[in-house]
Amino acid sequence: MKEIAVRTTNHTQFVNIDREVEKAIAESGVKDGICHVFVPHTTAGVTINENADPDVTADIIHALERTVPWKGNYAHSEGNAAAHVKASMMGFSQTVPIRSGRLAFGTWQSLYFCEFDGPRTRKIWIQCIPA
């Protein structure tokens, strides 16, 4: 398993992590199989979505904020309940096929680390499993 770090600069931010994950795949030597990406945090997640238009991730962030506003009538005393909810909505892991040593995405797809309680330095765990 490979651990990488992602440094976020905003409170809410989507960071494309394709390069870092593909570097981990190359280091693993796996040519065909699956790549499992896991975020070990409760206020951050990982998703797959479009990489061609940055407005897509901006729209997702805005939709999540409308659905789960930062300030609300939450019971969680730390003040970051919205971040926990958004992270659970996005999910904490993704599994992508590896083909010829690269992530096997559909057209326009990329992996995004989703920060909801930043800025912070976060961990991502990557496991490459051969076919």
pLDDT in tens, the chain (131 residues): 999 999 999 999 999 999 999 999 999 999 999 999 999 999 999 999 999 999 999 999 999 999 999 998 999 989 999 999 999 999 999 999 999 999 999 999 999 999 999 999 999 999 999 99
What does the alpha-carbon distance between residue 76 and residue 119 come to, in Å, rounded to a whole number?
A: 20
Task: Kindly report the number of other CB atoms within 10 A of residue 27's CB atom.
Answer: 11
Beta-carbon contacts of 16 under 8 Å, excluding residues fewer than 6 positions away, are 51, 110, 111, 112
In this prediction, residue 15 carries a pLDDT of 98
In this prediction, residue 5 carries a pLDDT of 98
CB 68 within 8 A of CB 11: no
Residue with the two structure tokens 């009538």:
73
Q: What angle do CA 3, 16, 124 make, to 5 degrees?
A: 20
Q: Domain residue spans in the chain?
A: 2-130
In this prediction, residue 21 carries a pLDDT of 98
In this prediction, residue 120 carries a pLDDT of 98
Instruction: Evaluate whether the domain defined by 2-130 bears CATH number 3.30.870.10.
Output: no
Tokens describing residue 32: 């065909």
